[in-house]
Structure 1
Amino acid sequence: MTSLNILSGGAAQGLVASLAAKFKAMSGFDIAGEFGAVGAMADKLRQGTPTDIVILTAAIVAKLAEENLVVPASIADVGLVETALAVRANDPLVTASDAASLRAALLAADAIFVPDTKASTAGIHVAKMLRQLGIADEVAARLKIYPNGATAMRHLAASDAVRPIGCTQWTEIISTVGVVLSGSLPPGCELATTYTAAVTIGAANAKQAQSLIGLLTAAEQRALRGRAGFISGK
């Protein structure tokens, strides 16, 4: 079976999955690889994991270009993804209009489900946000930290906590059964991250990787990107 090898942030997993059948019809290639915390995915590329294409944050892709690990001319923005709040499907929505109400919502939760606070885009932001709100120490024991947002959301869905809440990227929330998007983060606490695709320098299937980038970023896929949680793009 011929496969295109991908290393991607979890934010793009739903979008890639939604285009996999179309890509195979176009190219004859399946899509294989990993989706996870962007820092961990970048390190896998640096460590020599066979990879044709990466979809990571714009900042990380720019760094990989400086390190001569991706082809600069191939770099293309896929779109912007917000970090947001999530709750179980049958729980009351939790919204926060300002920092004070966000602080109160997090303090009221008895479990807070988040992705890796050292390697994932959303997790790093959550850790910073908790420090900014002055509650990092107070909620530390309630943090439920998982390797990526998708895993964190699956555990939130299955949680038996009384008042759990989650915080990760919009794309990972809306693609997980059993949780719902509860609300955006308020001004001063928000995060919107641009995700970018690139062909790797060592790509065994560079032509097909470029074709997938073209498919992901095409104007005719704008509605699909929106349904997958990307709030901007071509």
Structure 2
Amino acid sequence: MTQPPLTLFSALSVRTALDAVLPAFTAAPVEVSYDPTTVLVNRITEGARPEVLIAISGAFPALAELGAIDPASQKALARSGIGVAVPAEADLPNLSTVDDLRTALTSARSVAYSRTGASGIHFANLIEELGIAEQVNARATVLPKGFTAEALLDGRADLAVQQLSELAFVPQVRIAGPLPEEVQQYSELSIALGVTAGPQARELLDFLTGPEAVAAFAEAGLLPA
């Protein structure tokens, strides 16, 4: 009889690392759904019950209160900062200071970002604080979800803002660097078991917090938790 796959809901920012490491997990097939944490939380709130969840740590208390995850199983995985990418052939903008960032954003033909991801929510608030929201949004490429750097490949945008590990998922672009530290936001990612989890889901959680996975997270540009 064919073994049913384990269901894993995961934030986009660890996709590069999971693509590299999951083929080595042989205890059971794994079916992964990648989405921003806000989308994953909405799906779980509406009744979805993954056996394993990787998401921004701040989402877990509400999901535990909902009875969707086992809070005792939660473990921190990694941290990710926000960065900027450009097309492969483009010059790298100066991002050394907040003023440099402001100049890069207001000089861009179009900036791509996602409103549903943690990075996009932070970016939307940031450009308001910098007083450039109207100017940037007038010609921004705002994506509902997904990898914003893909908008650089087809010419929709010439700057893309997202978690650095998500920008790295699109190898045809160049990462200009992180946001200046004064306006940076780091998102911690955690893993936990869902209430439907069985022994093999526990094996998957242990595998994804083990040394092979930790090395894959670092290779993908994620910081230690």
Scaled to the shorter chain, the TM-score interval is over 0.9
Partner of 2:124: 127
Within a 5 Å distance, the mapping from 1:51-130 to structure 2 comes to 51-115=50-114, 117=115, 119-130=116-127
- Determine the C-alpha separation between the residues in 2 that align with 1:76 and 1:124: 24
Q: Deviation string for 1:29-53 (max 9, x for gaps)?
A: 2221321121111110111124111
Q: TM-score if structure 1 supplies the norm length?
A: 0.89
Tell whether the 8 Å contact from 1:70 to 1:199 is kept in structure 2 after alignment: yes
Partner of 1:166: 160
Given residue 198 of structure 1, which amino acid in structure 2 is its aligned partner?
A
How many residues matched?
Answer: 223
Aligned-residue sequence identity (percent) comes to 24
Q: Are 2:188 and 1:189 equivalent residues in the alignment?
A: no
Q: Against the structure 1 CA distance between its residues 196 and 111, is the aligned structure 2 distance closer, same or farther, given a 3 Å change threshold?
A: same
The offset of 1:83, in angstroms, is 0.8
The offset of 1:147, in angstroms, is 2.8
Instruction: Tell me whether 36-45 or 90-99 shows the greater mean CA deviation.
Output: 90-99
Given residue 43 of structure 2, which amino acid in structure 1 is its aligned partner?
K
Q: Are 2:215 and 1:218 equivalent residues in the alignment?
A: no
- Determine the C-alpha separation between the residues in 2 that align with 1:50 and 1:223: 28
Q: Are 2:138 and 1:141 equivalent residues in the alignment?
A: yes
Q: Are 2:176 and 1:179 equivalent residues in the alignment?
A: no
Given residue 219 of structure 1, which amino acid in structure 2 is its aligned partner?
P
Q: TM-score if structure 2 supplies the norm length?
A: 0.93
Structure 1 residue ranges without an equivalent (≥5)? none
Aligned residue for 2:9, secondary structure, equals strand
Q: Deviation string for 1:6-50 (max 9, x for gaps)?
A: 221111111111112111x2x0x2221321121111110111124
Q: Against the structure 1 CA distance between its residues 102 and 85, is the aligned structure 2 distance closer, same or farther, given a 3 Å change threshold?
A: same
Correspondent of 1:155 among 151, 154, 163: 151
Aligned CA-pair RMSD: 1.6
The offset of 1:66, in angstroms, is 2.4
Structure 2 residue ranges without an equivalent (≥5)? none
Tell whether the 8 Å contact from 2:83 to 2:175 is kept in structure 1 after alignment: yes
The offset of 1:179, in angstroms, is 1.2
Aligned residue for 2:191, secondary structure, equals strand
Tell whether the 8 Å contact from 1:157 to 1:177 is kept in structure 2 after alignment: no
The offset of 1:149, in angstroms, is 4.3
Given residue 153 of structure 1, which amino acid in structure 2 is its aligned partner?
A
Following TM superposition, where does structure 1 have runs of at least 4 consecutive aligned residues deviating by more than 4 angstroms?
none
Aligned residue for 2:67, secondary structure, equals coil
Given residue 196 of structure 1, which amino acid in structure 2 is its aligned partner?
S
